[in-house]
Amino acid sequence: MVDQEKIREAVKLLLEGIGEDTAREGLIGTPDRIARMYSEIFSGMEEGAEEHLSKVFAVENNEMVLEKDIVFYSMCEHHMMPFYGKAHVAYVPDGKVAGLSKLARTVEVFAKRLQIQERMTGQIADAVMSDLKPQGVMVVLEAEHMCMTMRGVKKPGSKTVSIAARGIFEKNPELKNQFFQMLQL
């Protein structure tokens, strides 16, 4: 559980640290607003993907399934700034498929934590592998990191792309190509 009291205290200290007057009108409710917001944006801390991926349907043909352009918002653990973009998740079934919205729910479980993009990509792939047990899974995340675009190098619009391949995708370049072709449709 997110400890809202601790967050309220910490935000107050943070405001003092940057030289703000925590008693002024615009800021008086800020510690509480942030505490409540964090309960929502870090709700993935207490969740797993199993419950979403356990509702399956039997299929006879094991053709690749791709769910693309799944919009996600996460928080980078190095700066506690948002990174956000799109996830594309594909898998080759082994006799069963998950409901389509369940892949998006899986992405959300791992986005709503402090993250680094590369780890999140792998966690989504591993969750689909272990909970849905397909022949293979492929995950691509493309995201803009506010910690990069707001300061330092300042390259608005620049994207970080990360990939994770598991199962038959690891050793089958043709299948990988098919995935990238489907992404472009």
Q: How far is the CB of 123 from Zn ion (least distance, A)?
A: 18
Q: Find the binder of Zn ion among 147, 168, 182, 183 (CB under 5 A).
A: 147
Kindly state whether residue 155 participates in binding Zn ion, applying the rule CB under 5 A: no
- β-pairing verdict for 136-145 and 82-92: antiparallel
CB 12 within 8 A of CB 4: no
How would DSSP label each residue in 137-171?
Answer: EEEEEEEEEHHHHSSTT--TT--EEEEEEEEHHHH
Kindly state whether residue 143 participates in binding Zn ion, applying the rule CB under 5 A: no
List residues bridging with 57 in a β-sheet: 97
In the set 50, 51, 78, 118, the catalytic residue is 78
Q: How far is the CB of 77 from Zn ion (least distance, A)?
A: 8
Kindly state whether residue 78 participates in binding Zn ion, applying the rule CB under 5 A: yes
CA distance 68 to 58: 22
The residues, ordered by sequence, that sit 6+ positions from 138 with a Cβ below 8 Å of its Cβ are 89, 90, 91, 125, 163, 164, 165, 166, 169, 176, 179
Q: Which residue number, 41 or 168, has a Cβ lying nearer to Zn ion?
A: 41
Q: How far is the CB of 148 from Zn ion (least distance, A)?
A: 7
Q: Which residue number, 141 or 165, has a Cβ lying nearer to Zn ion?
A: 141
Q: Which residue number, 79 or 105, has a Cβ lying nearer to Zn ion?
A: 79
Kindly state whether residue 79 participates in binding Zn ion, applying the rule CB under 5 A: yes
Q: Which residue number, 35 or 76, has a Cβ lying nearer to Zn ion?
A: 76
Known catalytic residue: 52?
no
CA distance 141 to 70: 9
Known catalytic residue: 76?
yes
| Residues of the shown chain interacting with Zn ion in the complex, contacts defined by CB under 5 A | 76, 78-79, 147
